[in-house]
Structure 1
Amino acid sequence: MSLQGTANNANVLQLHRQLEQAVTKMLIVLGKHSPEVIGFSIPSFEKREEDEQPEQIQVQPVADFSFTHTAFSQWLAPVGANTRLVKRYPGVVILSSGEQQIIPLISEINRLKDEFAKAVRLGFKNRQSAHENLHKIIPGILLQQATRKIHHLVQTVSSVNFYWAHRPMVKEITKEQALADIDRALESKRYDLTLLNKTEIEQRTQHEKSLISRIPADARIIERRIARVQPCYDIWIKTSGSKIATKLGSKNASLPVIIFGKVGRCNGLSDYYRPVEKKLGPQESIIESELLPRKSWFVTMQPKKKSGVLLGHK
């Protein structure tokens, strides 16, 4: 490793220690103000599983401060545990005092989270390489959990409503990006390659690159995954003199939201049951063909007057 890489790793470790210390300090101050905790414990999911729709998710209500402590400070997996786990902590922490002490601590934590995330990526061409290096210097770290921002609100709230929502995952990919992504599979320890040996990986890579190179110039590559289900919350307030509540905002409920003020009502998170999917008919104005099922890649293009064949791979 170069001197620059060694220096940056030292900076990553230092920022991580500072982040741990800042979170510990905030939790100590938070606990002294006897907050009301309304939390909802849900299972952990592997990163890959989170992109799939579970049949059911059970929710366990919790009202202990230990839930808050774990939510804000736990981002190291036990030795030997899967570091691709995604854990969310929907909930609300309500305080009647302490905003002047706690808000500056939250701001400092969020600043350190930003600096830590930037330092982890510094000097690496892709996210996978950055993550592999990070796990060498901080084994077991769950980066997504470590860098989640803490949100707070100083406001009298009419209600906080928790619910399950589906987050669509659709993005367009250029041919250059697709080819680069395929090439990285030869260099990285990707979880979707564990059942293949080196020769099989090389053969698949060449086949997939050949498919991509044959895509018509006027076609688009679209990555479309099953909608991800995750807990979210809405916050509603009543303005002075108004009898009708208005929605202040919505966020995903990855961490508890800290509210300095009164909360009129909290509509908790209930168990999730997968809804019956409605099958949509094909769009007449778009021709779509499956390209690489393992990547959830499709090729789309406008229909032409003359009939033609759209390349795909199943």
Structure 2
Amino acid sequence: MSALYAPGGLAHAWRFEATGCRWTVHTRSPLPAALRRQITARIDAFENIWSRFRPGSLVRRAAAGRLAPEPDGTVALALPTGSTPLLDLYDRLHAATGGRIDPLAGADLVELGYDADYSFVVRDGAAHRLGAIHGRPTWAAWARHDGDRLLLRRPTLVDVGAAGKGFLADLLAAWLRAADHEEYVIDASGDLLVRCQQPVRVGLERPASAGDDPDGTVVGVVELTAGAVCASGVSRRTWGPGLHHILDARTGLPVTGASAVVAAWAVADHCAVADGLATALFVADPARLAAAGFDYDFALLRADGSAATSRTWRDLPAELFTAPRRGR
């Protein structure tokens, strides 16, 4: 839902598949083969920890009770060094949204059919098990962390989908800088992280409706030389009437309603923060997120056709069009 218009003069592009989508890394000089192999291995290791779609991943093994419990019965996940910022971010998002963003809501997605097998079949009796209101474990009550060590009260599924892709983009940026690639644009299928001397122009794509072709239809633009812009929308991962991947974790149900947010874009210094906020905007008032200490800009569209932006949106610079435009 974000389209790269111009990569700021970065002529070389490396494309690969990760986290279930297409990634492109734009750099001024080509990345050596050895560096690409190293990055590929690190991304694979990341998915072996966090992917709820890989049978042998750490989060899948923890959910299945395949990790040896601690003496008090808790489940300990020994995460890679540097995982603390992701866990801290989820602490903040969970608190700022009143529990509506929750890494333990992946169990609700499974109940609704968005499972590791992509069955897209709602499980029998799911309505009585969905969400915190029906007793599904919550991040605040069931999880705590000590540095890079995550402790769960009992086996349960952890899903970092709301911010995990952005966090991986931040890690990738650090790996590029360590290899002396100081300018780059990382495009994780529309979630973009930019560090470039020349402004990078990003188009904000209109979410699709039934029968629509959203390609090339934009509702705004953002220009960045440093920072991230991430998008979230209800149209990209849907599998039935009223079924999509953005949930209110308290109810366990997809966000819906006449005035519900249908697309949101967040701009922040770090990609993980922008990624998490682009989802949080569906379930929390933007002012509440700012009051919680998040420094960001945003634009959003609602089902009733209305739109909103942050007060400093135009200062980025950025623009939200009054009518969609075609072409890139």
Q: TM-score range, shorter-chain basis?
A: under 0.3
Query: RCO (CA 8 Å, sep 6+): is it higher in 1 or 2?
Result: 1
Indicate the structure with greater helix content.
Answer: 1
Larger Cα Rg: Structure 1 or Structure 2?
Answer: 1
Q: What TM-score results when the alignment is normalised by the length of structure 1?
A: 0.23
